[in-house]
Structures are given as C-alpha cells and as structure tokens.
Amino acid sequence: MAFRIGSFNMFKFSFRSDNEIRKDIKLIARIIYEQQFDIIALQEVFSKNAMDLLLKELGEHRWQGVWEAPNALSTLAAEGYAYIWDKTRFRLSTTVLPDGSTRIFKPHIYNQYKVNRSLGQRQLIRNPYYARFEPINGAFCEFRLINVHIMFARNSTHNDIFDAGAILLRKREFDILTKSLYLSIADKVYGNNRPSYTIILGDYNLNLPFSGAKYAFLNEVVEVDNGGTIRKLITVQKELTTLKSSPTEEQLKKKKDVIASYWANNFDHFTYDYDRFQGIGMHAGRINTIQQYCNNDYQLHRKVASDHVPITLDINLIKLVGGINLMHI
C-alpha cells in the first residue's frame, strides 16, 4: 500500500477578505486534489472558517478536516493548525472498548512532554497538533502525525534572518520535539493494537545542511537515549520551500535563472524513527506549485496561496523479500 502525506504552511490563511491575506480557495483545493494527498497537515490556519471553506471547495462528501489553535505563549505566535484527509483512504483511528463500543481518536494540541531547563529549554511557543489515522483498506496500521510550527523569533531590532539568539531558540524547540515529545507519542500503547508509524511534519524554521540554504541548520540525525537504547531520528526533505519577498535588482538584471532566485529557505520537513521505517519505501520532496499553478509568478503565489510550497512524503508499505511482496506492518 502506498500513501502520500503532506505538509503546507498556508501563510496567514484566514476567513478575512482583505487583499493582503485573501487566498484563492479554488487553487489551494486543486493543489490538494491534483497532487493526490491522502492526508495534509496545515500550519498558519488562522480560523476554522478558512478550513471549512477549503473543505467545501474540495467536497465534503470525500474530504474531512479538523482544526485547533494552541494557547501560544506570545500573541505573535497565535495561529491554528489543521489536518485535511481523503475519507476514501483514511479515517481517524478507532479503539474497541471492553464493552464492544468504539472510541474515535480526537486530534488535540499536545503538551505532554518534558523540558530540560538546565539546557535552556522552555515550553514550546506553539504546542503541536497530534492526530492518529488508520487506512480504510489494505493495511492494519496507523500513522501518528505531529503537526509543528517551530517559533521564528527574529530579533525585532534588525531584519537579518541570521539572528544567532533566535536560531538557538529554534534549535532548542527542535530538541524538545525530537528528544522528548516524539518518543512520548511513538511509544504510546492504545487498545487497537495496530502497528504504528510516527512522523513529525511541518514548518521547522530551520534548514538541513546541503539544502542550498545559508544558515540556521539542524542536525539531520538525532540520537535519543531511550533507557539505554539509542533511537535514531532522521529529518528529511532537503529542497528549498520558502519564497523571498522579492528578487534583487541584480538578480533580475543578470536574468540568471530567475526562478531559482525566488527560493529562500528549506524550512519544511518530516522527522521519523529511522529503524522503525527500515524496509519501507520513503521519498520526501517539494511540489513546485509556483511553476505548476502560477505560471512561475512567485509573487502571485505568495498572494493567492502562500510564501511556502507544499512538501510530500510518499510511503510504500510493501517491501520485496525473496521476490515476494510483503506488507510491512
């Protein structure tokens, strides 16, 4: 069985209709449908009404969604998360109770993690949005998704993105997510006894090395000591995903691959337990929606869609053993 899970920072996606943040709902719905997402995690969704409009455009007979906003520690960080999924492919995980009834998992803002204050850690500015999904047909398993938007926290006294203090704070949030929060979800035991696959996904505001970005790098592999057992968490998706405010005059004059000059950072990623996903086909990348849907007009894309492009994680649970297809569950 093959599945496509995605993430998309929607950049101030709101129900409001002022020109600054007006979105092309039809275009966004086309992207989700045509790119065949089974589940997509959204960040910067400022209202449930905005998500509902998107669901209506997609078609509520087939698509379902949930929205929630964390209690952010700063008003500057106040925003919501959403999940949208194809109901013909996935549903929220269910557990059969002792009396024979079923309980459907309710996605929620997750705050059950520890911080190491001796390392300068503090509570996440925006706690993540946790959801569990199970395939409708063909695979007895579940995906546990942790939708995140790591703080940006640029120094307000200057506009340089290279702010060492802010980058340190982002890295501390990444450490909390990978070294504390991830395992608290991945190792949970639920009554449905389904094999589970846990994935962090979203906007990390940090770049992977060798992505083409200039600074604010995270560690591609994080080793976590889990009671004497080392767990390796790997972060993937190295393509640039955010857009500059505008290309420089010099870039435009040189006519040097103008499209390439639009890209800024590699902030959008997936993180998972490397050993848990061994033997499973995994491929992460971005969708160049500027090229495919906006005729290479990146400023139009910023206005009608986002200053990010969506990312995808294609997962194939079938592996070959001795020439025979086996389901990896």
Identify the three-state secondary structure at position 174. Answer: helix
Percent of the chain predicted with pLDDT > 70 = 84
Reported as type and span, the H/E element at residue 147 is strand 142-149
| Per-residue model confidence (pLDDT) at position 159 | 47
63, 53 contact by CB (below 8 A): no
Give 97 or 80, the one with higher predicted confidence: 80
Residues 6+ away with beta carbon under 8 Å from 98: none
Please tell me the least confidently modeled range out of 83-97, 142-156, 241-255.
241-255
Q: Taking residues 297-315, what's their average pLDDT?
A: 95
pTM, full prediction: 0.90
| Per-residue model confidence (pLDDT) at position 76 | 56
CA–CA gap between residue 79 and residue 46 (Å, rounded): 5
160, 214 contact by CB (below 8 A): no
Structure tokens at 33: 């449908």
**Mean confidence (pLDDT) of the chain:** 87
Q: Domains, the chain, ranges and CATH?
A: 2-327 (3.60.10.10)
Cα Rg of the chain, angstroms: 20
pLDDT tens track for 45-73:
999 999 999 999 999 999 999 999 998 66
Rounded (10°) angle between helices 48-58 and 25-34: 60
Structure tokens at 305: 């869609």
Q: Per-residue DSSP letters for 32-51?
A: HHHTT-SEEEEEEE--HHHH
